[in-house]
Structure 1
Amino acid sequence: MGSEPIICVESLVKEFRRTKQQSGRFSAIRTLLTRERTVSRAVDGISFGIPEGELVGYLGPNGAGKSTTIKILTGILMPTSGTVHVAGIVPWRERKRNAAQIGVVFGQRTQLWWDLPLSDSLELVGRLYEIPPPRFRFNLKLFTELLELGPFLSTPVRQLSLGQRMRGDLAAAMLHSPRILFLDEPTIGLDVVAKERIRSFIYELNKEQGTTVILTTHDLDDVERLCQRVLLITDGSVLFEGDVESLKNMHTRERDLIIRLPPGSESIELANFASARIVDESGDLTRVRFNPQSLPITELVSFLLSKYAIVDFSVKEPELEEVVRNIYAARSL
């Protein structure tokens, strides 16, 4: 992984101006003459850098500015102000050069030809990018194996399942060996098996080929399984930047100790511990929530073992989805 960021964003701002709707008999004439407009700021001074070879989760609620940022990085939109460099290129100024070094997959859209077999679509992608035939054949063979495309290469794209189409889109996005891959909701609507196949491919791509990956998703299982670092944004600004564990530790300090007792055992009492409480009792399982910073787990477990005939116990880390939900809930108060 290189020390210089392959993606560098500084003080990025994107505003959208819309004509204000007016009501009344002469509203159309007034609008034409005065052109009163409203301004909304989708991205508000975002700055970050992504080193080459990193796999980053770019997270935020709907309307936070994620898609707008991605569209600027891919050259689709021009920002209102700020600077952006993607592998040394200003994306909206050199769209063709930028397109040659990035791959893009949008979960709700496809870059494949609807009525053509998947193999023909991939062949057309190869020609559009002017991929040399030896490299095209090598990449097609590699991605066919990694994504298990063989059984449906001759199937028209319109007849593919969502999971099959997504695998085809991933192959199309990577055929020209881009240095950077932008993924927008790549596992949305997929079943468990399809999600796992997509995740394995992304992981392999990042680890084995060193592809830089920016993942925008609402599926936080994707983030926990794949991402080395997360950027959490809201209202167009960066709220958190760091690894997943740091995010959990910063915003959710409590952990759950799950205890299994023999059938018919008396209930656990925790009156001696101000930093621990029972949050659930179901059958022979008891869930104790505690703060490891004020109550070391060794002290809590030692006490419980001395008082109760514990069959088994485990510690459950907070789930990323719960952490992120709590962060946004706290900001909305």
Structure 2
Amino acid sequence: MPVIELENVSRAFTVRSRTGLRRTSREVRAVDDLSFSVEPGEIVGYIGPNGAGKSTTIKMLTGILVPSGGSIRVAGVDPSRHRLKLAKRIGVVFGQRTTLWWDLPLRDSFAVLRRLYDVPKARHQENLATFVDLLDLGDLLDVPVRQLSLGQRMRGDIAAALLHDPEIVYLDEPTIGLDIISKTRLREFLNQVNAERRTTVILTTHDLDDIEALCNRVMVIDHGHKVYDGTLEGLRASQGAPRTLVVDLATSAGPISIDGATVLKVDGPRQWLSFPAGTSAAPLVAQVAANYPLVDLSVAEPTIEEVIARIYAS
């Protein structure tokens, strides 16, 4: 059975304004008629522009907000009616809002969380040892949270969200403030937790490299409506974003002229040619090889950033 179910969910807010002595109000629907389900063990990327309704959705899934309409079930319960019961079954990292105690060492914050979630001591120690190793937290355990860098604190927050063995984890910008090596390590950690523990992960992020590295499914939301739900490959195909043929010639030359492709850029002996999605590159390669001194070539698929930009633009 799905671990998360939304059916025709909406959430409206009343926005009040004042012009002179006149006060007016209007209704804004942050989420409008949203339906989807998530199976246990899925890693789902939940993306959209600022103001699209992502945070509102996550807050309804955790029980912080009550939907204006529709129904939500998370781990078999209504989040807004069973917040305490659900709290032990979910983990949350909300962007730059820490769940750790500011003046306590990281180790003490983890100890407090063990008490709050009533985790058996042996299980807590086992999880803590695993996460300290995988997230490289060993040298940080006795450092007060206020002295940690943003990247170090994010690693601590992610460990805190998983220490009580939640079934579902909501991650908002989990790699913010991390360098390339730390991002790679964190992605490997999340993949390992998902594979070994079947933890369901809902990931909201503006770092689309996170989506490509972690998610087997992507949902795109805009103005409170779901505009796409499927695989990354399907997302690329749905937008018809052009592919790129990168050609290296033996010598510098003017723009290549072949049927079915358009030169985007020329830089010495290297040229970039655009051709339509769904079109085979083989005929283009044959034309280049037959008419130009070809040294090397490659085909570049559209980046996820380009695809998402096309969705937002439309």
Check whether TM > 0.5.
Answer: yes
User: Where does residue 247 of structure 2 map in the other structure?
Assistant: 259
Q: Which runs of 5+ in 2 are unaligned?
A: none
- Are 1:261 and 1:309, in contact at CA under 8 Å, matched by a contact in 2? yes
Q: Distance in 1 between matches of 2:283 and 2:53?
A: 45
* Residue in structure 1 matching 2:106, options 113, 118, 130: 118
- SS at 1:47 equivalent: strand
Structure 2 match to 1:136: 124
One-letter amino acid of the structure 2 residue matched with residue 308 of structure 1:
Y
> Are residue 183 (structure 1) and residue 168 (structure 2) matched?
no
Counterpart of 1:106 in structure 2 is: 94
- CA shift, 1:304, in A, is 1.3
1:289 is matched by which residue type in structure 2?
Answer: S
Residues 172-211 of structure 1 aligned to structure 2 (within 5 Å): 172-211=160-199
* Identity score, percent: 48
For 1:242 and 1:158, the matched residues in 2 are separated by 40
Measure the CA separation in 2 of the matches of 1:253 and 1:267: 22
In 2, distance between residues paired with 1:162 and 1:198? 14
What SS is found at the alignment partner of 1:311? strand
Find the counterpart in structure 1 of residue 39 from structure 2. 51
Question: Quick one: which of 264, 275, 279 aligns to 1:279?
Answer: 264
Match of 1:85 among 73, 78, 87: 73
Amino acid at match of 1:329: A
Q: Of residues 276, 297, 306 in structure 2, which corresponds to 1:291?
A: 276
Name structure 1 gaps, 5 residues minimum.
none
Residue in structure 1 matched with residue 13 of structure 2 by the alignment: 16
> Is 213-222 or 247-256 further displaced after alignment?
247-256
Q: Please give the alpha-carbon distance, in whole angstroms, between the structure 1 residues aligned to 2:174 and 2:252.
A: 48
**Partner residue in 1 for 2:202:** 214
The structure with the larger Rg is: 1
| TM-score, length basis structure 1 | 0.91
Aligned-residue RMSD, C-alpha: 1.4
Counterpart contact for 1:115–1:158, Cα < 8 Å: yes
Mark the CA change 1:292 to 1:14 in structure 2 (over 3 Å): closer, same or farther.
closer
| AA at the equivalent of 1:17 | T
The residue number in structure 2 matching 1:321 is 305
Q: Which amino acid aligns with 1:231?
A: M
| Other-structure match for 2:286 | 302
Structure 1 residues 264 and 13: CA distance shift in structure 2, 3 A: closer
**TM-score computed with the length of structure 2 as normaliser:** 0.96
How far apart are 1:193 and its partner, in Å? 2.2
Which residue number in structure 2 is paired with residue 151 of structure 1? 139
CA distance in 2, matches of 1:278, 1:129: 59
User: Is 1:238 equivalent to 2:222 in the alignment?
Assistant: no
> Secondary structure of the equivalent of 2:202?
strand
Instruction: Specify the SS of the correspondent of 1:248.
Output: helix
Q: Write out per-residue CA displacement over residues 219-249 of structure 1, whole angstroms, 9 at most, x where no aligned residue.
A: 1111111110111011100001111110101
Deviation at 1:189, TM superposition (A): 3.0
Secondary structure of 1:76's aligned partner: coil
Q: Which residue of 1 aligns with 2:61?
A: 73
Letter matched to residue 267 of structure 2? S
Query: Could you tell me how far 1:39 is from its partner in structure 2?
Result: 1.3
Q: Alpha-carbon deviation of 1:190?
A: 2.6
Return the offset for 1:296: 2.1
Q: Is the 8 A contact 1:252 1:318 kept in 2?
A: no
Q: Distance in 2 between matches of 1:279 and 1:259?
A: 11
| CA deviation after TM superposition for structure 1 residue 150, in Å | 0.3
